Amino acid sequence: MNAKQRKQLQRRMLIAAAIVFFIGLVIYMYGANALTIYKLEKQKTEILQGIEDEEVRSNQLDQQVEQMGSKSYVEYIARKYLGLYYSDETIVIPVIDEQTTESDGESIG
């Protein structure tokens, strides 16, 4: 091989290496962008789900605020949290008989 052919071969190898490098760079950039897009889409989905959950919670709170003035809601709160009942009501408290609750044939208690 003479010097002229060797120089042309080196130039072609350099051009080929540059083309391979740029193709690799483009593929890398495309892959990085695709990964970023995937992560952002996943984050978007999670945020939209969170918004839907909070809208449901907001509707529930709105309904609860609307009920706050009603007589049935006041009675419910008085019964549940304050233990208040009407004077003419009969209060029934279930009692579990300890002798009837047995474990492995032996009586508890």
- Distance (Å, whole) CA 53 – CA 57: 6
- pLDDT value at residue 2: 86
Tokens 């809601």, residue located: 73
Could you tell me how far CA 97 lies from the centroid of its own chain?
A: 44
- Distance (Å, whole) CA 106 – CA 45: 56
- Distance (Å, whole) CA 66 – CA 77: 14
- Given a contact cutoff of 8 angstroms between Cβ atoms, the answer to whether 84 and 78 are in contact is yes
- pLDDT value at residue 109: 46
- pLDDT value at residue 26: 95
Tokens 């709170």, residue located: 61
- pLDDT value at residue 35: 95
- pLDDT value at residue 102: 55
- The whole-number mean pLDDT for each consecutive block of 10 residues of the chain, a chain of 109 residues, reads 87 95 95 95 97 96 85 84 82 76 53
